[in-house]
Amino acid sequence: MRIQFALGLFAVLLATTSLVAADPAKEPLWPEGAPGAHGTEDKDIPTITAYMPASEINTGCAIVVCPGGGYGHLATGHEGVEIGEFWNKHGVAAFVVEYRHANRGYKHPAPLQDAQRAIRTVRARAEEYNLDPKRIGIMGFSAGGHLASSAGTHFDKGNPDSKDPVEQVSSRPDFMILCYPVIAFDKPYTHKGSQRNLLGDDAPAELVAEMSSERQVTAETPPTFLFHTTEDTAVPPQNSVDFYMALKEKGVPAEMHIFEKGRHGIGLGKDVPGSAAWPDLCLAWLKTQGMVPADR
């Protein structure tokens, strides 16, 4: 009996282990140095960390993850590591970006450059990662949501003449997932700290408008999933509403959920009534968009 129990336990552990990705690998986004870098210290080196699903459940879909932190720090735990682990369980690769920000000595355009580079990197190396280059999205939380929305409204097709193969491919995400995002600038419900950290105190009106994401939506903006909470007083849900309405006006596929409960920064929303449903709702949405197989 003991031998049978031990063998059964070993089988369970083996099966579970087979679904766990290898230790995530962190790499610099620019091996030769980031554009506009002030030096070569760690704070000057934006990175990307790959969280890969086990090969047998890999769907070929990937998400670039931008943690929040008001453009002044990075919440890489509950808005980075935990997010990567969640997506891996569902066969989705996640790439967490540690982008430059104000407390590292950087303002616009450094964070956007880092996010765009992350999308290009994953797409350029899609074959290496066993991913579909046409199913690469971006996801962001709070100020990271603003960064993700910026990447989805400021993109290019790549530079075919570049000697860097990463720079040759498009920076357009195939979809966006925006979690209690900062969106609108210069509004009563703007998160002033994020705007100040990104643009400074006296940014020109033209730059403020350019980086107010709801004002930059076009018909080419990627399909978007948004979630927010009514109880969020740091970044009020009007931010998500503004972006959703802009998407609707331009005919861009969009889905939005505003839950009653949950403070700002809830991450996966564990144990938060109602809001805890958002990750599964997001996964269902990815299926409707054809980004993840329906049987996952």
Model confidence over 192-217: pLDDT tens digits? Answer: 999 999 999 999 999 999 999 999 99
Is the pLDDT at 4 greater than 50, yes or no? no
DSSP string, 69-134: STTTS--TIIIIIHHHHHHHHTT-EEEEEE---GGGT--TTHHHHHHHHHHHHHHHTHHHHT--TT
Is the pLDDT at 16 greater than 80, yes or no? no
- 282 three-class SS: helix
Q: In this predicted structure, what is the pLDDT of residue 24?
A: 86
pLDDT tens-digit series, residues 58-78: 999 999 999 999 999 999 999
Q: Is residue 85 part of a domain?
A: yes
Q: In this predicted structure, what is the pLDDT of residue 22?
A: 59
CATH code assigned at 110: 3.40.50.1820
Beta-carbon contacts of 289 under 8 Å, excluding residues fewer than 6 positions away, are 175, 223, 253
Could you give the CA distance from residue 200 to residue 102 in angstroms, rounded to a whole number? 9
**Domains: count for the chain:** 1
Q: Is residue 68 part of a domain?
A: yes
SS3 content of the chain, % helix, strand, coil (to 5): 40, 15, 45
Average pLDDT over residues 240-267: 98
pTM across the whole model: 0.93
Q: Is residue 3 part of a domain?
A: no
Q: Which domain holds residue 223?
A: 25-288
Q: Average the pLDDT over each of 10-24, 218-232, 241-255, 267-281 and give the range with the smallest value.
A: 10-24
Q: In this predicted structure, what is the pLDDT of residue 296?
A: 80
Is the pLDDT at 3 greater than 50, yes or no? no
